[in-house]
Amino acid sequence: MAGPVLEMRSIVKTFPGVKALSDVNLTVRQGEVHAVCGENGAGKSTLMKVLSGVHPHGTYEGEILFEGEVCRFKDIRASEQRGIVIIHQELALVPFLSLAENIFLGNEHAKRGFIDWNETLRHATEVLRRVGLDDHPETRVADIGVGKQQLVEIAKALSKKVKLLILDEPTAALNDEDSGKLLDLILELKKQGITSIVISHKLNEIRRVADSVTILRDGRTIETLDVKDAGTTEDRIISGMVGRDLEHRFPERTPHEPEEGAAPALEIRGWTVHHPIDQHRKVVDDVSLHVRRGEIVGIAGLMGAGRTELAMSVFGRSYGRYADGTVLKDGEEIRTKTVPEAVRHGIAYVTEDRKHYGLNLIDTINRNISLSALGKVARAGVVDEHEERRVAESFRTSMNIKAPTVFEPVSKLSGGNQQKVVLSKWIFTGPDVLILDEPTRGIDVGAKYEIYTVIDRLAAEGKAVVFISSELPELLGMCDRIYTMAAGRLTGEFSRSEASQESLMRQMTKDKEVTR
């Protein structure tokens, strides 16, 4: 077996208030495909950003050895010059430039500032052929599918004389067929002597392409396993990913007892949604679920499983292209074609991305809280500012929003307090059903507990709560029932007593067998 090409030793990376990586070690052997896996937020992407110079030398602790030399990359160009190329989860292609122009963007074949088109096209054709694309290099990127775009990214990496290729969740945006092609290509490149690091949480993919796998959890290296080893089963990997003890982190909760005969507060039947651009991809595929009053129902799934897409498409069709399905409220079918309709029927959706979809950051606490239900503090179209202030003040007290006044711009609040503002805003609409999408993402432990308490209180008041999360412990700690999703489909349903981290993770990573 070949020696190590890359060693990352004791990497520590701190962001303001959060320790993203604490003591991570990663050793990659020459010529292998090395998988890195872990739950969302385990530090996978951060580690790769450290390696590729996105987080430059000096902003982290520890050292990086590549081909036996200590490397101090000051930016991404420096790492590329050494032959380390990262392909990010979000594709970094310019849609209205041609394939060839994209491949050599920032690295043009030029003489005295003028592009040598003959050389550009010749070289582009060559690298495109290596990744198995026969499209003309002058085709615009916008005119080819997402799967091919991913291959163009790899072609771009090849043109930079790549030695170590890093792929961050390369199949997250691809359909099965394109995923299969991509995985084949990774194996093909391995034969040509290119070492790869693949970040993934799809266990079947890891088993198919990887030689070894390193598991990260909570910013630490847990272990590195040899995939070909008989002991490395999927269960083994899963227990490495989740294996942490459950402490006393959740409020005491009396489990919900379903009432006989009562129709569920919200029921979704046969819900199917297509990707907004790629019409052939179903991001939500024939999902049916229900939630009763007083019940907290979890939806577990990893990134790209379709949880957010499901929630947003139900909430006023705010995502994708609706294909099929009905929504029932208290047993009767309702229209939720627009957001105001959904709100009127007592549905509230608290977004996973509060900064972009939840708050007007430049505006104040009181105005953010009242925005979704301005009618409640207004008469004849005129907002009663005093009433609005009173409402905001009462939420500031009841939700324990830490701010000097309700006139503070929300951009000045911490993540936890911003989340409380978003929650207040939706509670103020007086909903019967609350869909909470990753309500504790990016907030500290103390604030998390407060959010859990609020959720518990809402359920106790008889509201139906849908709790979307990729953190299994919080779902296990809070929910009466948990659905699992993978690749747009429901893959399981667990009662509180049946659910365990292992059983959930098994269903969450249950992707369709990758077609050859």
Partner 1 sequence: MSTDVTAKTPAPAPSGKGGGAAGGGLWGLVLEGMRRNMRQYGMLIALGLIVTLFAVWTDGDLLLPRNVSNLVLQNSHILILAIGMMLVIIAGHIDLSVGSLTAFVGALAAVLMVKNDMPWPLAVALCLVIGAVSGAVQGFLIAYGGIPSFIVTLAGMLIFRGLTEIYLEGQTLGPFPEGEQKIGMGFLPEVGPETNYHNLTLLLGLVLIAAVLLQEVRDRKRQKSFSLDVLPRNLFLLKLVAVTAAVLTVTLLLASYKGTPIVLLILGVLVVGYSYVMRNSVFGRHIYAIGGNLPAAKLSGVKDKKVTFAVFLNMGLLAALAGLVVAARLNAASPKAGLNFELEAIASAFIGGASMSGGVGTVLGAIIGGLVLGVLNNGMNLLSVGTDWQQVIKGFALLAAVGFDVWNKRKVGS
Binding site for partner 1 (CB under 8 A): 315-316, 318, 339-340, 342-343, 349, 351, 356-364, 366-367, 370-372, 374-375, 378, 381-383, 385-386, 389-390, 393, 404-405, 407-409, 411-412, 425
Angle between helices 176-191 and 146-159 (to 10 degrees): 20
DSSP-derived pairing of the beta strands 212-217 and 33-37: parallel
Closest CB 466 distance from partner 1, rounded Å: 16
> Each residue of 334-364: b (16+ CB within 10 Å) or e?
bebeebeebbebbbbbbbbebeeebbeeeeb
Q: Sign of the CA dihedral 33, 305, 442, 446? A: negative
Q: Closer to partner 1 at the Cβ: 393 or 432?
A: 393
Q: Closer to partner 1 at the Cβ: 8 or 350?
A: 350
Closest CB 307 distance from partner 1, rounded Å: 16
**300: nearest Cα among 490, 42, 495:** 490
CA distance 136 to 375: 56
Residue 295, phi then psi, degrees to nearest 5? -105, 145
Q: Check: CB of residue 83 under 8 Å from CB of residue 102.
A: no
Q: Check: CB of residue 7 under 8 Å from CB of residue 51.
A: no
Q: Who contacts 373 (Cβ-Cβ below 8 Å, separation ≥6)?
A: 343, 425, 428, 429, 430
The H or E element containing residue 413 is none
Q: Closer to partner 1 at the Cβ: 150 or 366?
A: 366
Q: Closer to partner 1 at the Cβ: 397 or 497?
A: 397
Q: Closer to partner 1 at the Cβ: 60 or 315?
A: 315
Q: Closer to partner 1 at the Cβ: 288 or 338?
A: 338
Grouping H, G, I as helix, E, B as strand and the rest as coil, residue 35 is strand
Closest CB 146 distance from partner 1, rounded Å: 22
Q: Check: CB of residue 88 under 8 Å from CB of residue 95.
A: no
Closest CB 284 distance from partner 1, rounded Å: 18
Closest CB 336 distance from partner 1, rounded Å: 12
Closest CB 338 distance from partner 1, rounded Å: 8
Which residues on adjacent β-strands are paired with residue 168?
199
CA distance 197 to 35: 6
Q: Closer to partner 1 at the Cβ: 3 or 381?
A: 381
Q: Closer to partner 1 at the Cβ: 61 or 353?
A: 353
Closest CB 425 distance from partner 1, rounded Å: 7
Q: Closer to partner 1 at the Cβ: 406 or 479?
A: 406
Q: What does R_g of the chain's alpha carbons equal in angstroms?
A: 25
CA distance 340 to 421: 20
Q: Closer to partner 1 at the Cβ: 133 or 342?
A: 342
Closest CB 320 distance from partner 1, rounded Å: 14
Closest CB 94 distance from partner 1, rounded Å: 20
Closest CB 356 distance from partner 1, rounded Å: 6
The tokens 């009053």 sit on which residue?
293
Closest CB 387 distance from partner 1, rounded Å: 10
Q: Closer to partner 1 at the Cβ: 289 or 422?
A: 422
> Each residue of 85-96: b (16+ CB within 10 Å) or e?
bbbbeeeebeee
Nearest 10 degrees: Cα torsion 62, 237, 90, 353: -90
CA distance 58 to 95: 34
